[in-house]
Amino acid sequence: MSTTLVIGALGQIGSDLVPALARQDGAAQVIAADVRLPGPALNVPFELLDCTDADSLHALVVRREVGTIYHLAALLSASAEERPHAAWRLNMNGLLTVLEEARLGGCRLFVPSSVAAFGPLTPVHAPQDTVQRPVSMYGVTKVSGELLCDYYAAHFGLDVRGLRYPGLISSSAPPGGGTTDYAVEIFHAALEHGHYTCFLRPDTRLPMMYMPDAIRATLELMRADPKQWRHRNAFNVQALSFTPQELADAIQRHLPGFTMRYEPDPVRQAIADSWPQSTDDSAARSEWGWQPAYDLERLCADMLERLRSLTPALQGHHYAK
């Protein structure tokens, strides 16, 4: 049986995707790869890999008999705006290297896009197929990546699939330098300090999703039969749409003493203002049956419970009652 390789496995998504794949296929079948070393908790085989190094990637794919690749290595929106050339090198050269290896090695491939692939001309409720024209470097690489994946599917018959993830909220690993990171930081700050200073304006409405929904969407997409699909890459997947103020209100219902202050960061605010507020995911629903499970109330309750169990010291904290 061929193995599954997760590139960028130690990041926010990989930290939840790797255990989910290990539960689905068996731990020995999943290879985690990253440019940095893992902590002791990782319980699948690990490979140190720079995804822009074609020879090392090829050697790994052959040695481990890889049949499926999840390519998660990228610079996210805020980091990409700080280091635009590094973002282009990793997000585009890395993707091209992985696409070529998947083509030569006959691998199936998952490549995530993002709501960042949209721009200020996109309708606020973004259709599946619409004007994109993003203005951030991250968005430029995401829309280019979508097109490159479409090209490899159309011209080389590569089985490459993808989702436009919204901002993802999770408890297992910190977010990796994005504009939606506030929606993760706020939970840690609420439990540890009872207070959070938000880098976006209170009314900044963005599409969001809880990580268990994102992992399930990913696995369902990769298991689905694409014969009847009209789309293949970059499916919109909608779950939640909320503002920092609405998230703070939801957290306050669990932690009544929690307070929030706003100090908008001009760079991240401009990125957020260029993104849609929600997406039309009817293509994902009709083509492979996508259905989210978590609303904001359920997400808040689960996040707070998980973070308390991960950090026993928070259990006795007065904000955690």
Counting contacts by CB under 6 A, is residue 178 touching ligand AKB?
A: yes
Q: Could you tell me how far CA 64 lies from the centroid of its own chain? A: 25
Helical segments of 199-254, H only: 211-223, 244-254
Stretch that binds ligand AKB, among 119-127, 178-186, 197-205, 300-308 (CB under 6 A): 178-186
Rounded to whole angstroms, what are the CA distances from 183 to 39, 112, 131? 25, 20, 27
CB of 67 or CB of 174, closer to ligand AKB: 174
Yes or no: say if 26 and 63 are a contact pair by the CB < 8 Å rule. Answer: no
Is 138 an active-site residue? yes
Nearer to ligand NAD, 52 or 238 (CB): 52
Q: Is 44 in the site for ligand NAD (CB under 6 A)?
A: no
Active-site option among 138, 165, 196, 294: 138
Q: In the set 76, 98, 160, 237, which binds ligand NAD (CB under 6 A)?
A: 76
Closest residue by Cα to residue 112 from 269, 241, 6:
6
Instruction: Indicate whether 94 belongs to the interface with ligand AKB (CB under 6 A).
Output: no
Read off the amino acid at residue 4: T
Tell me the three state secondary structure of residue 38.
Answer: coil
Q: How far apart are CA 170 and CA 175, in angstroms?
A: 8
Residue 60 near ligand NAD by CB under 6 A? no
Sign of torsion over alpha carbons 181, 183, 184, 187: positive
Q: Binding ligand AKB by CB under 6 A: which of 15, 68, 114, 132?
A: 114
> Which residues belong to the active site?
138
Which residues sit at the interface with ligand NAD, rule CB under 6 A? 7-8, 10-14, 34-36, 49-52, 72-74, 76, 90, 94, 112, 114, 165, 167-168, 175-176, 178, 180
